[in-house]
C-alpha cells in the first residue's frame, strides 16, 4: 500500500509539472510589447488545458492537441509599466511590462557589435545612458539546419543604464535612442545577430525555394545520413597553446618575455604594420615583438592600461615579464589593465607573442598603440624589435570549419528568427553583407528573398524593412577598378525596389583597416531617420542621402538625376566633386569631372568624346566620395553600365 501511494504521488507530481504553462523566452519580465497593434502572447501547456491571461482585460484559450496555445490581446496605446497574470495549472506573474515600439534587429557582427567595443569613442553616451524605457533582448547564438526550434536560448529583457548598455548592440542603441528622444515612447530591441554569417543562413526553407543552389543545399539537410557524415568531419585547428612546445621563445634557458632575457639576433620592426611588409615573407606562425621604454618616478602607484589597437591574430602580451592579457582572434581591440606596481621608474619592457594563422600577421595600422598611465598617454608606436619563434608548416595552418550550421542556408532562421515570429513588432532592421562579398552578384536577390520571407513569416503585412548599406572598407584604389563590395552595395541599392523598404547609406562611416568600424552612431541614427520617414510616416523627413534615379546622355556630358535630394545637392567638403568615373562603349572607365546643377549632377571627361556610362564611388573604399544632400546624408554609390 505504501509503495502504491508513493507511485501515485509521483505520478500526480509529474502530471502537474507537465501541465504547467510555459512561456517563450521573449515573453517575460520587463518586455516591451508593440503599441497600436494586436499583441500575440503564446506558449505551451498540457493538451486541452485552459489558459487565462489578465492584462488590461481578461483573455482565454485552450491549448491544442500538441500543447501549443496563443492569445491575441487587443491593440493598446503606449504606456506602462504594467503587470500580466497567466493562469493554467500554475500561476505566472510578469512585471514591469511596457507598451511601445519593438524592432527586430538582425544581421552579422556590425549589428551585434556591442557598446562595450566602442566605449572609448562614446564615453559620454555610456555614462548618460539612463533610459529605462529603452530595453534590449539579446538572442543568444544557436544554429540548426535540421529543424525549426520552438524557442530561443534563455535570455532576458534589460533596461538601458550605464552598465547594461555596454551589452546593447551599438548600431541598434543609437537607433533606439534617437527614436525614443523623438517620440517619447518605450523602444524594445530584439537583437538577433551573429558575426561572420551570410544572408542565406537567415532565410527560411520556403524563402529559398526559388534559389536553385540554396534550395538544393537545404534539401540535403533532410537526409539524416548526409548530416551525420558532414558533422563527423572535423577540422584540426591550431591551438596557440599547442604551439608552445615548438616555439623557440618558450624553450630556451630563458623565455623571451622574461625581463632577464638579453635579445640576440633580433631585427627592427616599425609598429604598427604587417610583418609581410617588413622583411618576413609568407610566414604563418609565431613572431615575438619587444620594446624597452623609460618611465619617470611615481608610475608604480598609478593605474595603467595598455591600449593596443588590433593584432592579427592571437596575442599574449607581457609587461615586465607578467602576462597582462591575451585574445585568440584578430578583431577585438586590445585593452589590457596593467596592475598597480607592475610598472616601475626607469626601464620597462613590453613583449608580445603574436601568432597568425593565415594572411598578413602583425599590427593593424591607423590604430592607437599607447600606454595610459593615470590619464597620461605614452605613444608606443615606432621602433620595436622582433624575432620569429616558430614557422608553421602548411599542414599546421588553422583550418576553417568544414561544416558550420550558422553559415548554412536556414541555419540561423530555424533557431534565431522562427521562434520570434509570433512577437508583434514595429519593423525590421538589418545590417549584414560582409560575409557575402565573395559572391556579391547574388546578394541583391538574396536580400529581396529575405525581405519577402520575413514579412510572410510575421504575417503583419509589409512590415517596414530598413537596412544599412555597407560602409567603405579595404585599401584605397586610386584608379577606377572593379569591386566586389561595390557590387554588393548595388544589390542592396536595388533591394529598394521592394515596397516599404529604406536604406541608410554609410559609405563614409567605415575604416579601411577594420571590418568593424567604430562609428556606429552615424549608422544607427541614419537608420532611425529612415524609420522616421518609413515607419512613422514623417513625410517631411528626408529618408536618406541622394539615390540614383536616371541618366541622360547629352553630347559629351551625362546628366544624372536623383531621388532624396532633400533641400538640395551639395559637396560635403566644399571641394570639387570626386569619385565620378565615365566611359564610352568600351566600358573603360576614367576619372571624370562633375558639377552640381540644381538637383542634378553633370559628368564629363575630355578624354571620353562619346560617353555612355557613369559610376560613382564604385570601389571597396571610395575615399573622397563627397556628394551629399544638404541634410548631411551621403549619396549611395551606383553605376549606369548594368541597367
CATH number, domain at 387?
A: 2.60.120.260
Q: Could you tell me if residue 353 is inside a domain?
A: yes
Q: Is residue 31 part of a domain?
A: no
45-97 tens-digit pLDDT = 999 999 999 999 999 999 999 999 999 999 999 999 999 999 999 999 999 99
Instruction: For residue range 395-404, list pLDDT tens digits in order.
Output: 654 544 578 9
- From 520, 543, 566, give the residue that closes a domain: 543
Handedness of CA 627, 629, 630, 631 (dihedral sign): negative
Res 228: pLDDT: 85
Residue 601 grid cell: 549632377
Residues contacting 126, CB < 8 A, separation 6+: 115, 119, 162, 165, 166
Write down which residue in 498, 528, 543 finishes a domain. 543
617 has a pLDDT exceeding 80: yes
Answer yes or no: do 534 and 621 share one domain: no
Strands (E), 469-573: 501-504, 547-554, 557-563, 569-571
Query: Does residue 128 lie in a domain region?
Result: yes
Residue 25 reports pLDDT greater than 90: yes
Judge if 252 and 383 occupy the same domain: yes
Q: Are residues 300 and 326 in the same domain?
A: yes
The closest alpha carbon to 601, from 566, 571, 623, belongs to 571
Examine residue 313 and say whether the peptide bond preceding it is cis (omega within 30 degrees of 0). Answer: yes
Report the number of distinct structural domains present in the chain.
Answer: 3
80 found inside a domain: no
On whether residue 464 sits in a domain, the answer given is yes
Q: Are residues 536 and 561 in the same domain?
A: no
Residue 104 belongs to a domain: yes
Are 200 and 344 found together in one domain? no
Residues 368, 287 share a domain:
yes
How wide is the angle at C-alpha 38 spanned by C-alphas 35 and 41, nearest 5°?
100
Strand stretches in 422-487, DSSP E = 427-431, 465-468
Give me the mean pLDDT over the 292-319 stretch.
94
Going by pLDDT thresholds of 50, 70 and 90, the confidence category of residue 229 is confident
Distance CA 126, CA 138 (A): 18
| Residues 411, 356 within the same domain | no
pLDDT exceeds 60 at position 239: no
Mean pLDDT of all residues belonging to the chain: 93
Sign of CA pseudo-dihedral 630, 634, 636, 640: positive
379 and 299 part of one domain: yes
Residues 482 and 601 in one domain: no
Q: How many other CB atoms sit within 10 Å of the CB of residue 226? A: 12
Q: Do 284 and 376 reside in the same domain of the chain?
A: yes
> Containing domain of residue 325, as a range?
240-396
Peptide bond into 288 cis (omega under 30): no
Point out the domain boundary residue: 498, 521, 543: 543
Report if residue 27 sits inside a domain.
Answer: no
Q: What is the pLDDT of residue 1?
A: 47
Q: What is the mean pLDDT of residues 173-189?
A: 98
Look up the CATH number of the domain holding residue 223.
3.40.50.1110
Cβ atoms of 412 and 203 within 8 Å: the answer is: no
Q: Is the same domain home to 145 and 128?
A: yes
Question: Is 81 part of a structural domain of the chain?
Answer: no
Whether residue 246 is found in the same domain as residue 214:
no
What pLDDT band is residue 19 in, cutting at 50, 70 and 90? low
- Sheet-wide strand order for 362-363: 273-274, 362-363, 311-312
Amino acid at each position: 500500500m505504501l509503495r502504491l501511494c508513493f507511485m501515485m504521488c509521483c505520478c500526480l507530481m509529474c502530471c502537474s509539472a507537465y501541465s504547467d504553462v510555459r512561456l517563450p523566452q521573449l515573453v517575460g519580465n520587463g518586455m516591451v510589447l508593440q503599441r497600436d497593434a494586436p499583441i500575440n502572447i503564446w506558449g505551451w501547456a498540457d493538451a486541452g488545458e485552459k489558459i487565462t491571461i489578465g492584462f488590461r482585460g481578461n483573455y482565454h484559450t485552450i491549448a491544442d492537441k500538441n500543447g501549443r496555445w496563443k492569445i491575441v490581446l487587443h491593440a493598446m496605446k503606449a504606456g506602462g509599466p504594467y503587470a500580466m497574470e497567466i493562469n493554467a495549472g500554475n500561476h505566472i506573474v510578469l512585471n514591469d511590462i511596457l507598451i511601445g515600439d519593438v524592432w527586430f534587429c538582425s544581421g552579422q557582427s556590425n549589428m551585434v557589435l556591442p557598446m562595450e567595443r566602442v566605449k572609448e569613442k562614446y564615453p559620454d553616451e555610456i555614462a548618460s545612458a539612463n533610459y529605462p524605457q529603452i530595453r534590449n533582448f539579446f538572442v543568444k547564438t544557436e544554429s540548426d539546419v535540421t529543424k525549426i526550434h520552438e524557442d530561443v536560448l534563455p535570455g532576458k529583457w534589460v533596461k538601458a543604464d550605464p552598465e547594461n548598455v555596454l551589452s546593447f548592440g551599438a548600431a541598434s542603441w543609437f537607433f533606439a535612442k534617437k527614436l525614443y528622444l523623438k517620440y517619447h515612447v518605450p523602444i524594445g530591441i530584439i537583437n538577433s545577430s551573429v558575426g561572420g554569417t551570410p544572408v542565406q543562413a537567415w532565410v527560411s526553407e520556403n524563402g529559398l525555394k526559388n534559389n536553385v543552389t540554396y534550395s538544393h543545399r537545404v534539401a540535403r539537410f533532410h537526409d539524416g545520413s548526409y548530416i551525420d557524415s558532414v558533422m563527423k568531419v572535423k577540422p584540426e585547428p591550431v591551438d596557440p597553446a599547442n604551439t608552445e612546445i615548438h616555439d623557440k621563445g618558450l624553450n630556451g634557458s630563458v623565455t623571451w618575455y622574461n625581463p632577464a632575457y638579453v635579445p640576440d639576433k633580433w631585427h627592427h620592426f616599425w609598429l604598427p604594420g604587417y610583418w609581410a611588409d617588413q622583411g618576413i615573407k609568407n610566414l604563418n606562425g609565431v613572431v615575438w615583438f619587444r620594446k624597452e621604454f623609460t618611465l619617470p618616478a611615481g608610475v608604480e602607484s598609478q593605474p595603467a592600461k595598455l591600449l593596443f589597437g588590433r593584432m592579427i591574430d592571437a596575442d599574449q602580451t607581457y609587461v615586465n615579464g607578467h602576462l597582462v592579457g591575451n585574445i585568440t582572434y584578430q578583431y577585438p581591440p586590445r585593452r589590457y589593465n596593467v596592475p598597480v606596481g607592475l610598472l616601475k621608474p626607469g626601464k620597462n619592457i613590453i613583449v608580445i607573442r603574436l601568432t597568425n594563422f593565415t594572411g598578413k600577421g602583425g599590427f593593424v595600422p591607423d590604430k592607437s598603440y599607447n600606454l595610459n598611465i593615470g590619464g597620461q598617454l605614452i605613444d608606443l608606436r615606432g621602433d620595436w624589435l622582433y624575432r620569429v619563434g616558430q614557422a608553421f608548416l602548411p599542414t599546421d595552418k588553422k583550418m576553417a570549419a568544414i561544416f558550420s550550421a550558422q553559415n548554412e542556408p536556414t541555419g540561423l532562421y530555424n533557431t534565431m528568427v522562427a521562434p520570434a515570429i509570433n512577437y508583434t513588432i514595429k519593423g525590421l532592421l538589418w545590417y549584414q553583407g560582409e560575409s557575402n562579398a565573395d559572391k556579391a552578384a547574388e546578394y541583391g536577390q538574396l536580400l529581396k528573398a529575405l525581405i519577402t520571407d520575413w514579412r510572410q513569416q510575421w504575417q503583419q503585412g509589409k512590415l517596414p524593412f530598413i537596412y544599412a548599406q555597407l560602409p567603405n572598407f579595404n585599401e584605397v584604389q586610386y584608379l577606377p577598378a572593379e569591386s566586389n563590395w561595390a557590387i554588393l552595395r548595388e544589390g542592396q541599392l536595388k533591394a529598394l525596389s521592394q515596397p516599404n523598404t529604406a536604406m541608410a547609406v554609410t559609405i563614409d562611416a567605415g575604416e579601411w583597416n577594420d571590418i568593424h568600424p567604430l562609428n556606429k552612431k552615424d549608422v544607427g541614427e541614419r537608420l532611425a531617420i529612415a524609420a522616421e520617414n518609413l515607419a512613422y510616416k514623417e513625410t517631411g523627413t528626408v529618408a536618406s542621402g541622394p539615390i540614383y534615379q536616371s541618366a541622360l546622355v547629352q553630347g559629351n556630358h551625362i546628366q544624372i538625376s536623383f531621388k532624396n535630394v532633400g533641400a538640395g545637392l551639395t559637396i560635403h567638403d566644399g571641394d570639387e566633386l570626386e569619385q565620378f568615373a565615365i566611359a564610352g562603349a568600351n566600358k573603360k572607365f576614367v576619372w571624370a569631372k562633375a558639377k552640381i546643377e540644381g538637383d542634378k549632377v553633370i559628368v564629363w571627361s575630355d578624354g571620353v568624346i562619346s560617353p555612355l556610362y557613369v559610376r560613382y564611388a564604385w570601389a571597396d573604399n571610395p575615399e573622397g566620395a563627397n556628394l551629399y544632400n544638404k541634410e548631411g546624408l551621403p549619396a549611395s554609390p551606383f553605376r549606369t553600365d548594368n541597367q
